[in-house]
Amino acid sequence: MYLSLGDSAEETDLTVVYQAAANGDVNTLTAVIREDPSILECCDSEGCTPLMHAVSGRQVDTVKLLLKMGANINIQDACGRTSLSLATYMGWLEGCVSLLRNGAKQNIPDKNGRLPLHAATAEPDPSSILEIPQEICSHDSSMLYFP
């Protein structure tokens, strides 16, 4: 998968971008995104952006960098999952906190109707089952309504 950069003959191999995001290679990402900021929104065959790849690689510094450079924090992949949903499914508390502090919406359902809060309960680690929902709810008091 390649992206042509403007009028130049140069092309960016998006696979390299996604690998750099997943591996925390901030130097490569910074250089490529400065050359063409639209790369922030490029999606792979599953609809995942560089930000989602950084989340999947548990690269908190890369997540912060991509957000600072303008990545859309609430974009959804082909399954309707956001970066926050991915982080909660992984049980990655540090990533959830970073995404929530940077404006991730916790009320965006995936294509199966699951919210990030539901994803948090799918994690087999018992500590995550308590910590992640608490973190999600602390960022949105409307999630605390129990009829």
Predicted pLDDT of residue 127: 60
Q: What pLDDT shows up at residue 145?
A: 43
Per mean pLDDT, which of 69-78, 89-98, 121-130 is the most reliable?
A: 69-78
Q: Which fold has domain 1-72?
A: 1.25.40
- 147 contacts: CB under 8 Å, gap ≥ 6: none
- CATH superfamily of the 74-147 domain: Ankyrin repeat-containing domain (1.25.40.20)
- Tell which phi-psi region holds residue 35, choosing left (phi > 0), alpha (psi between -120 and 50) or beta: alpha
| pLDDT, position 121 | 73
Q: How confident is the model at residue 117 (pLDDT cuts 50, 70, 90)?
A: confident
Is 29 in contact with 20 (CB distance < 8 Å)?
yes
pLDDT value, residue 119: 75
pTM score, whole prediction = 0.81
Mean pLDDT of 126-142: 61
Percentage with pLDDT > 70 across the chain: 74
In the chain, CATH 1.25.40.20 covers: 1-72, 74-147
pLDDT score recorded for residue 8: 35
3-state secondary structure the chain: CEEECCCCCCEEEHHHHHHHHHHCCHHHHHHHHHHCHHHHHCCCCCCCCHHHHHHHCCCHHHHHHHHHCCCCCCCCCCCCCCHHHHHHHHCCHHHHHHHHHCCCCCCCCCCCCCCHHHHHCCCCCHHHHHHHHHHHHHCCHHHHCCC
What is the arithmetic mean of pLDDT over 27-32? Answer: 95
Q: What are the residues whose beta carbons fall under 8 Å from the beta carbon of 129, sequence distance 6 or more?
A: 120, 121, 123
- pLDDT band, residue 22 (cuts 50/70/90): very high
Strand pairing report for 11-13 and 2-4: antiparallel
Give the pLDDT of residue 7. 36
